[in-house]
Amino acid sequence: MIVLLTRRIFGLVLTLIAVSLLIFAVMVLLPGDPAAITLGTSATSETLAALRHDMGLDQPLIVRYGQWLAGALTGDLGTSYTYGVPVAGLIAERLVVTLPLALLAILLSVVVAVPLGVAAAARRGGVFDIIATLFSQMGIAVPGFWVGLLLVLVFATSLGWMPAGGFPGWESGFWPAAKSLVLPAAALALPQAAVLTRVTRSAVLDTLHEDFARTAIAKGLSRSRVLWGHVVPNALVPVLTILGLQFTFLVAGAVLIENVFTLPGLGRLAYQALSQRDVIVLQDVVLFFAGLVIVVNFLVDLSYLVIDPRLRAGGAR
Where does this chain bind other proteins (CB under 8 A)? 30-33, 36-44, 46-47, 50-51, 54, 82-85, 90, 93-94, 149, 152-153, 156-157, 160, 163-167, 169, 259-265, 268-269, 272, 275-278
Shortest distance, CB of residue 264 to other proteins, whole angstroms? 3
Cα separation of 290 and 19, whole Å?
7
Shortest distance, CB of residue 184 to other proteins, whole angstroms? 11
Q: How large is the angle between the packed helices 279-307 and 232-260, nearest 10 degrees?
A: 160
Instruction: CB nearer to other proteins: give 51 or 105.
Output: 51
Shortest distance, CB of residue 146 to other proteins, whole angstroms? 11
Shortest distance, CB of residue 53 to other proteins, whole angstroms? 9
Instruction: CB nearer to other proteins: give 235 or 285.
Output: 285
Per 3-state DSSP, what percentage of the chain is helix, strand, and coil (rounded to 5)?
A: 80, 0, 20
Give the angle subtended at the CA of 222 by the CAs of 217 and 225, to the nearest 5°.
Answer: 95
Instruction: CB nearer to other proteins: give 201 or 277.
Output: 277
Instruction: CB nearer to other proteins: give 82 or 202.
Output: 82
Shortest distance, CB of residue 71 to other proteins, whole angstroms? 20
Which residues touch 236 (CB under 8 Å, ≥6 apart)? 203, 307
Shortest distance, CB of residue 106 to other proteins, whole angstroms? 22
Instruction: CB nearer to other proteins: give 186 or 260.
Output: 260
Q: How large is the angle between the packed helices 87-122 and 266-276, nearest 10 degrees?
A: 130
Q: Quick one: three-class SS letters along 1-13?
A: CHHHHHHHHHHHH
Cα separation of 280 and 35, whole Å?
13
Cα separation of 225 and 80, whole Å?
56
Contact 202, 220 (CB under 8 A): no
Cα separation of 63 and 92, whole Å?
26
Instruction: CB nearer to other proteins: give 43 or 221.
Output: 43
